[in-house]
Amino acid sequence: MQAGVHEFAEHGYHAASTAAIARRAGVSQPYIYALFADKKTLFLSCQRHVVDHIREVFRCAAGDSRGEESLAAMGLAYRDLLRNRTEILCQLQGYAASGDAQIRDAVAAGFRELFDEIMTVTGEPAARVADFFARGMYLNVAAALELPDTYLPPSPLAP
């Protein structure tokens, strides 16, 4: 899975090859197809892996807190996730490949699940969670572009 995340992050869905993923993973290309029906299935599995990792980090960060306290904890934890640009780039590649309806549906489902879970965990309304997501997307773009910290807001929730 990590080899797929890396390859898709670097090259996107269309340009990544299962041969390169197999080389990176140290397995044969036929083995990739023994695990995944096709490249799209592998790509969607990588997308799911990234969303599940973000979800787990957020759950752990929030702990038993609620409201703004839990959002602040999640925001700080997300800053740590941004240090691994590979997962963030893979996530962005999912959005970029959403011209394909099957990819769009799967990526949208993951997005909605994460959004709904943050609402549930924090108890915050949809508008507040949307603001949190907007800040996260800004941070994704800043991380993808390797912008210096001067372009980052002073706190994960600062207006």
d(CA 53, CA 69): 21
Task: Give me the CATH number covering residue 111.
Answer: 1.10.357
Average pLDDT over residues 86-97: 96
What is the percent of the chain where pLDDT is above 70?
95
Domain housing 104: 41-151
Task: List Cβ neighbours of 143 (8 Å cut-off, separation of 6 or more).
Answer: 82, 85, 88
What pLDDT does residue 83 have?
84
What pLDDT does residue 155 have?
58
Looking at the domain assignment, is residue 116 inside a domain?
yes
Looking at the domain assignment, is residue 10 inside a domain?
no
pLDDT at 130 over 60: yes
d(CA 97, CA 91): 10
Average pLDDT over residues 67-77: 93
Looking at the domain assignment, is residue 136 inside a domain?
yes
Looking at the domain assignment, is residue 70 inside a domain?
yes
Confidence of residue 57 (pLDDT cuts 50, 70, 90): very high
Looking at the domain assignment, is residue 22 inside a domain?
no
Looking at the domain assignment, is residue 8 inside a domain?
no
d(CA 124, CA 119): 5
Q: Position 5: which residue type? A: V
pLDDT at 159 over 50: no
Q: How many domains does the chain have?
A: 1
Report whether 8 contacts 46 (CB < 8 A): yes
d(CA 109, CA 48): 10
Looking at the domain assignment, is residue 33 inside a domain?
no
